[in-house]
Amino acid sequence: MHQERPKSRKKAFELPKLAIGDVLLVGKFKNRKATITGFSSDENNQPVAQTDKGDQKIFKPRIAKLMLPNARHDR
């Protein structure tokens, strides 16, 4: 009586297109601007952006260029 579910896989999550010089919003409230200076990977082989505010995991901060223009905190 076990019904087999159709195997449908969603498209794999793609990394955002980031380049050196792009701005990330980091910190507890994601309001400090950090400029990307390079890329590396951590001990778990996860992508890490090296910024002027320290190393930041790619999936943790907000990416300023992907945000809506009226949602940005340009100060």
Q: pTM here?
A: 0.71
Residue 2 pLDDT: 62
How far apart CA 69 and CA 24 sit, in angstroms, is 15
Residue 75 pLDDT: 54
Q: What is the pLDDT of residues 19-70, one digit of tens each?
A: 999 999 999 999 999 999 999 999 999 899 999 999 999 888 888 888 888 7
Question: Of 2 and 27, which is predicted with more confidence?
Answer: 27
Query: Which CA distances in Å does 4 have to 1, 7, 9, 11?
Result: 9, 9, 15, 21
- Tokens standing for residue 1: 């009586």
CB 40 within 8 A of CB 55: yes
**11 pLDDT band (50/70/90 cuts)?**
confident
Position 42: which residue type?
D
DSSP state of 13: P
